[in-house]
Amino acid sequence: MTESLRTDILVLGWGKAGKTLAGVLGRQGRTVTLVEQAVDMVGGTCINIGCVPTKTLVHQAVQRRRDDDPATYFRRAVDTRDTLINKLNAANRGMLDPVEQVRLVVGGRARFTGPRQVRVTGGDEELDITADHVVINTGAIARRLEVAGADGPRVYDSTTIQHVDPFPGRLVIIGGGPVALEFAGMFARFGSTVTLLERGERILRREDADVAASVTTTLTDAGVMIRTGVEVAELVDDGSTVTVRTSAGDPVEADAVLVAVGRVPATEGLGLDRAGVEVGPGGEVVVDDLLRSSAESVWAVGDVNGGPQQTYVSLDDHRIVTSQLTGTGGRTRADRVAVPTTTFLTPPPARVGMSETEAVEAGRSITVYAKEVAKIAAMPRPKTLGETHGLIKFVVDADSDQVLGAALHTVDAQELINLVALAMRTGTTATELRDGIWTHPSTTEALNEVLAAARS
């Protein structure tokens, strides 16, 4: 059975940008159809398999006591995770269900059949949708590891590992980026023996060496074994364990393997060629600074457009597209300044702006301020929490005193980095941050001391 539908705006994918845009425009009286192919992805990646569930597990792992049985504790932690996600799913439905102008289509696979024409197939039913405007918001999926055995029964990605059963006493993680590191720290604290394999010379290749070294120390002190310069050649499953064979010739046996080598835009099977939508070499929808694709009245938002894979960036994507659809316009990707990031280890490293290496390569005249967290006398908060790993580092323009970038590896970094980002956007100088009056005891007090003395 085939039904036909005409709508003002068609949104493909229930991610942050898509659901926010649908709600805003629907409440303004525009007819909006939101299509989500997976019934367990209502609300998008962040609340279902990304930010929220993984950070819930990170928190649960930190709370584990030494005498807690790892497998039993992990199952309880997963139950806590699932309970929260179910509540968030319901809340996300509740945000859009009451909006009369928004039609929700869940459980159907969408494919373009022509310009701004999409067929949604679910079981024996089909829905042909014609829209004035289309917003592609299909997100990203885990990148596959192209080696023999990577599809084995004990090989997981960042989604499936969250419900791994049985709990792996030995876990190998392939990758050295933020996702790999978060799971490494998490599972080490849950009680797994974790070995992390990174093909590069060190983890966090985009960070300065001293920042990466600080994170490395934190992970190794948590029990993670990090092996760098290792290329995975093959995964061999013998029915009870999996052996990771590497270029180093030193195989590693494990109960489970997590492949965390990045995520790629989810555009396969969308039929974008039929819509006249250009796709880049990584599978991303090619867009301009207004997030317009090569097809008229078709935008791409969130992870699918090849930009930073962050929920808050996706939220800003919605602002850019919504401003065009409401006629106000004026907002573009070029307006983004000092966008921060955080990797949720314990403690978390956070970054905004230029690294020291990037500033030097750009020919900037800089002053570097850096201090190990354990040596910052004016910031007792990490000591009160019993977590003094880390490094705080600022890169400052030597002529203007403007902060060019910062790397904060410390407790509360996920909050403090936002203050630094705001300072960069508003032109607040390093001296003004140094001389600020901050609550005590707080992580913010580090600014008083770290920015007081340049690194010699």
Domain formed by 155-261, architecture: 3-Layer(bba) Sandwich (3.50)
Let me know if the fold of 2-141+264-335 is the same as that of 341-450.
no
Q: Which fold has domain 2-141+264-335?
A: FAD/NAD(P)-binding domain (3.50.50)
Please pick, among 59, 389, 409, 440, the residue that the annotation labels catalytic: 440
Q: What is the pLDDT along the chain (456 residues), one digit of tens a residue?
A: 789 999 999 999 999 999 999 999 999 999 999 999 998 899 999 999 999 999 999 999 999 999 999 999 999 999 999 999 999 999 998 999 999 999 999 999 999 999 999 999 987 789 999 999 999 999 999 999 999 999 999 999 999 999 999 999 999 999 999 999 999 999 999 999 999 999 999 999 999 999 999 999 999 999 999 999 999 999 999 999 999 999 888 899 999 999 999 999 999 999 999 999 999 999 999 999 999 999 999 999 999 999 999 999 999 999 999 999 998 878 899 999 999 999 999 999 999 999 999 999 999 999 999 999 999 999 999 999 999 999 999 999 999 999 999 999 999 999 999 999 999 999 999 999 999 999 999 999 999 999 998 875
3-state secondary structure the chain: CEEEEEEEEEEECCCHHHHHHHHHHHHCCCCEEEEECCHHHCCCHHHHCCHHHHHHHHHHHHHCCCCCCHHHHHHHHHHHHHHHHHHHHHHHHHHHCCCCCEEEEECCEEEEEECCEEEEEECCEEEEEEEEEEEECCCEEECCCCCECCCCCCEECCCHHHHCCCCCCEEEEECCCHHHHHHHHHHHHHCCEEEEEECCCCCCCCCCHHHHHHHHHHHHHCCCEEEECCCEEEEEECCCCEEEEECCCCCEEECEEEECCCEEECCCCCCHHHHCCCECCCCCECCCCCCECCCCCEEECHHHHCCCCCHHHHHHHHHHHHHHHCCCCCCCHHHCCCCCEECCCCCCEEEEECCHHHHHHCCCCEEEEEEEHHHCCCCCHHHHHCCCCCEEEEEEECCCCEEEEEEEECCCHHHHHHHHHHHHHHCCEHHHHHCCCCCCCCHHHHHHHHCCCCCC
- Is residue 389 annotated as part of the catalytic site, yes or no? no
Query: Where do the structural domains in the chain lie, given as residue ranges?
Result: 2-141+264-335, 155-261, 341-450
Query: Residue 456: what pLDDT?
Result: 57
| pLDDT value for 327 | 84
Domain spanning 341-450: CATH superfamily: FAD/NAD-linked reductase, C-terminal dimerisation domain (3.30.390.30)
